[in-house]
Amino acid sequence: MTGQVAEAPSETAGATRLLTVGVEEEFLLVDPHTGAAVPAVDLVMEQVPAELRGQVEREFQTSQIEIGSPPGLELSSIRHSLGVLRRALADASERAGVRLLAIGTGPVDGPVPPVVDKPRFDRMIERFRLLVPGPGNNGMHVHVGVPDPETGVQVLNHVRPWLPLLHAMTTNSPFARGEDTGYASWRSVEWERWPSVAPTPWLESHEHYQRLIRQLIASGVMLDEGMLYWYARLSAKYPTVELRIGDVCPSVDDAVLVAALVRALVATAMTDVEAGRPALLTDHHLLVGAHWRAAHDGLEGEAVDVTTGELRPAWELLDRFVDRLRPALEQHGDWAEVTDLLGGLRRHGSGAARQRAVYARTGRLTDVVQDVARQTRD
């Protein structure tokens, strides 16, 4: 993780509480001619401008690289930070002879790049062996400030039922090993190989949260708290809740939209907690099914209505979800921009739909790679 995603969790002006939000994004490094993942992170890091290196890090595999935006109250600051970092990293990649892709996993078949040489990663490989997922898994993590861990745990209970919709929004990896996988997010399928990847469980308290972590480490499921790969968790480093369910978004517009909705979801949850309204108690296995459906269909198919267990068009449930968040979006001054960005998402489709549209036109995955690279920079 980069060290730039959290500061004071919120600001208060009278009765209005505004929450900070920060974004981490992981990218794939590929050969500019073939589109196959390449182990080039060290070469790219050498080309990153000195003033931005504190916001850029190596990730798990040598074909990956990560950025982190400073936290902010305004979406405009998040947009600016992500735009500057993406363009700088795309330029650094080109100087290193490779290309930067905001994509969930590599679409083109090729050798699996090695893991970054770090003692912790070495221990993970020793313990978990063949769970390394192909060319690299690239996600987006959104941090939102909370006042204390007990509040954070209650927020986790309130947000857990709604995360499959955000999962569907961010699907951006339909291709792998040179073919269409049939899933909108193949990254999600590969990622679930790790034993600590799961929907966040129902939590009684912060002590319960900590006890589960200790038990999972003792069982060997995790090496440390950093391997708690629940779809929402408390950050181990910052005073934030961290939502980490989606593929990295193809464009800055997509990332800003997700960041705004995540912050509004957390703000809505905090309002409900303070008002004593109970969280929706959703069965764990229904959530597992809802996340599978999100990974399979994305936004272009059906999604599970967790209030009924029935399938509905994903866009219908997303519209209802955004309406539910409208008070928090208006409170943060985000409603107009979110409305505009949702219109763009509706016109262009999810990242997975965009990739499939390019492939349907040309029949070449190299064209898909070029289009993703364009969206990544622009």
Over residues 258-273, the pLDDT tens digits come to 999 999 999 999 999 9
pLDDT bracket for residue 131 (50, 70, 90): confident
Phi, psi of 65 (to 5 degrees): -150, 150
The Cα 186–Cα 176 span in angstroms is 7
Averaged over 24-52, what is the pLDDT?
Answer: 97
> Looking at the chain, which runs of residues are DSSP E strands?
10-13, 16-19, 21-30, 56-58, 64-68, 99-101, 139-145, 175-176, 179-180, 232-234, 240-247, 302-305, 310-313
pLDDT, tens digit (0-9, with 9 covering 90-100), for 156-205 = 999 999 999 999 999 999 999 999 999 999 999 999 999 999 999 999 99
pLDDT of 130 higher than 90: no
Lowest mean pLDDT among 30-34, 63-67, 236-240: 236-240
pLDDT, tens digit (0-9, with 9 covering 90-100), for 199-227 = 999 999 999 999 999 999 999 999 999 99
Averaged over 18-43, what is the pLDDT?
Answer: 98
Instruction: Provide the percentage of residues in the chain whose pLDDT is more than 70.
Output: 96
pLDDT at 2: 55
Averaged over 106-132, what is the pLDDT?
Answer: 93
CA dihedral 144, 146, 149, 150 (to 10 degrees): -120
Averaged over 124-140, what is the pLDDT?
Answer: 89
pLDDT at 9: 44
pLDDT at 15: 40
pTM: 0.95
pLDDT, tens digit (0-9, with 9 covering 90-100), for 75-85 = 999 999 999 99
pLDDT at 378: 82
pLDDT at 213: 98
Give the angle 54-56-61 at the CA atoms, nearest 5°: 140
The Cα 366–Cα 17 span in angstroms is 47
Cβ neighbours, 10 Å, residue 14: 5
The two beta strands, 139-145 and 99-101, are unpaired
